Amino acid sequence: MSTLVDELIRSGLLEELGPERPGRVGRPGFALAVSGQGPAGIGAEVGVDHLAVCAVDLRGRVRSRAVRHVPNRGRSPSR
């Protein structure tokens, strides 16, 4: 398991938060979290009069957002 976790940390998908509570028996564990600095997902919405795009990190936080209004109402579709 630690080899996989180490690989996910190196690739920027996970980050270590620090050691877990001391006083437990066995090898000390580290708390992990999904990284907000790694890859992002991109979504787009195409509407009749707008185009919206947004990028979110793996934690679901919006990194960037843009909306462009376009005057498409009443236009015929191009073929």
Tens-level pLDDT at each residue, the chain (79 residues):
689 999 999 998 999 888 877 677 777 778 899 988 878 899 999 998 999 999 999 999 999 999 999 887 877 777 5
**Distances in whole angstroms, Cα of residue 50 to Cα of each of 38, 66, 67, 76:** 29, 10, 7, 16
- Please, are residues 20 and 33 in contact by the beta-carbon 8 Å criterion? no
- Please, are residues 63 and 55 in contact by the beta-carbon 8 Å criterion? yes
**Distances in whole angstroms, Cα of residue 58 to Cα of each of 6, 10, 40:** 18, 15, 6
